[in-house]
Structure 1
């Protein structure tokens, strides 16, 4: 199988590339903006026609899109996450290669969900910020394209290579600084949020499986278990050997507000306004991953403690 990987230099893309390269049946070509790409192409400025001509020349059996941006203003997010995907879809429609499209979406497309619930693929998406909106728009473009396509909605990827700006990356960096300076007390904010963390290597396995499958539509990729950041911080302290005290800074006071449920039959309910969390998904998010099991034959294998140990190993190297 010839695979074209877009965004191979990014956080998820690097692990997807490693997974595909380990499969002797896959011939991989990497396309992106960076110097490490086999072919340089900017999806935000390049034309669908130019990309279609390249697709016809390479003739991949599957196109995997891991490109995108998590940071920046609404205009930049729309450009990198939505316009870029429109270019991919139009190029595939014009091309004669007939390639399957595996697009990486995100759990932020769903927005806030009910405490204790698992979000399934049939949930009505209500993203809580510009990032989620830009990713949801991209998903809608893929689903409406008429292509042989699947969207993997990845919840909270973590593990080796976790960006320092991600919540668990920030935790590791704060702990590293505390240990380096000998602080016996670590004060952290925003630890009440609960998220479904999935190791990036498990995500790469899911992408590989989706590339080989006939699954279409949306498939959630997560661990199926929400973890409070406070508990993740405690595990990280144990992994790191940090013996100091962990103190959570008080969340700013806020009113209770309605959050719409994400399961059939759910009703509106009231929850306290959580400490701000960058993905716009409120205080709770947990994936229903049964579709990934049934249609991809995929289950997560790497537990959060192992992911945190790898995050800490990279942070400790900077001490």
Structure 2
């Protein structure tokens, strides 16, 4: 099976490439903007005609789209997350290759959820910010394209390679700097949000399974369990072996620099641990919350992935955080 992977150099794409290359039945071609791609092509500016000619020449059986961006204003997000997907869909419609499309969506498409509830694929999407809007528009393009296509809505990916600008990446960096400077207190804001963390290697397994399946529509990819970010911070401190105190401002917002601080236990419960620039003075308040427009809670209903892909998450949050810490610790 010949697979064309778009966005192989991104956080998710690197692990998807590794997973596909481990399958001896897969012949992988990587397309992207970087010099190390097999074929250089910018979806945001390239024409559908040029991509169609390439598809006809390579004739892939599956196209996996991991490309996109999480940063920038509405204009940039639209170019890279929506216009780019329109180019992919139009090229596949014009091409005679008949390839199946596996598109990586995002839980930000759903927007805020009711605390305590699991979000299923039939939930009405109400994205709370431009990123979620751009990703939802891309999903609607894929679903309305008439192609053999599936959208994997990935919740909060974690694990080795986690971007430094993500909440877990910022947590690891703040902890690294505190340990490096010998601080015994670390004040963190924005830890009240609860998210469904899923290891990036499990996401790659889901992409592989979706490539081989006949499933269509939207499928959630998550752990099925929400974890409060402050609990993730406590697990991270424990796996790092840091004996200091994590402090968080009191109050529902959890991020006001002038608010009193409460200690966070530098250890997590068994439930949490095993589920699927400059030195920071102790007075510094680091904001590590989720500006994704999804509010205080997200948790995936992952029954569809189990039933239609035969997929379940295998890697628990503690292992994901330990791998994130190993990368951060190398910079101490």
Tell me if both proteins adopt one fold, taking TM over 0.5 as the criterion. yes
- Cα deviation code 1:249-293 (max 9, x no counterpart): 34257xxxxxxxxxxxxxxxxxxxxx9621110000000000000
> Residue 263 of structure 2 corresponds to which residue in structure 1?
none
> Residue 284 of structure 1 corresponds to which residue in structure 2?
297
- Cα deviation code 1:59-96 (max 9, x no counterpart): 00000000000000000000000000000000000000
Q: Distance in 1 between matches of 2:76 and 2:40?
A: 20
1:197 partner SS? strand
Residues 273-312 of structure 1 aligned to structure 2 (within 5 Å): 277-312=290-325
Q: Which runs of 5+ in 1 are unaligned?
A: 254-274
1:196 partner SS? strand
Residues 53-72 of structure 1 aligned to structure 2 (within 5 Å): 53-72=53-72
Change over 3 Å in CA distance of 1:311–1:252 after alignment to 2: closer
Q: Distance in 2 between matches of 1:210 and 1:84?
A: 21
1:35 partner SS? coil
User: Quick check: 2:6–2:30 contact (8 Å CA) kept in 1?
Assistant: yes
- Cα deviation code 1:223-254 (max 9, x no counterpart): 0000000100110010000100010134257x
- Cα deviation code 1:192-235 (max 9, x no counterpart): 10000000000000000000000000000000000000100110
Residues 1-319 of structure 1 aligned to structure 2 (within 5 Å): 1-250=1-250, 251=254, 277-319=290-332
1:278 partner SS? coil
Q: Distance in 2 between matches of 1:174 and 1:193?
A: 18
Q: TM-score, normalised by structure 2?
A: 0.89
> Residue 270 of structure 1 corresponds to which residue in structure 2?
none
2:28 partner SS? strand
Q: Distance in 2 between matches of 1:34 and 1:132?
A: 25
Q: TM-score, normalised by structure 1?
A: 0.92
Change over 3 Å in CA distance of 1:252–1:312 after alignment to 2: closer
> Residue 269 of structure 1 corresponds to which residue in structure 2?
none
Q: Distance in 2 between matches of 1:252 and 1:232?
A: 17
> Residue 258 of structure 1 corresponds to which residue in structure 2?
none
User: Quick check: 1:159–1:200 contact (8 Å CA) kept in 2?
Assistant: yes
Q: Distance in 2 between matches of 1:2 and 1:252?
A: 49
User: Quick check: 1:196–1:223 contact (8 Å CA) kept in 2?
Assistant: yes
Q: Distance in 1 between matches of 2:293 and 2:330?
A: 32
Q: Distance in 1 between matches of 2:223 and 2:147?
A: 28
Q: Distance in 1 between matches of 2:173 and 2:61?
A: 41
Q: Distance in 2 between matches of 1:149 and 1:73?
A: 28
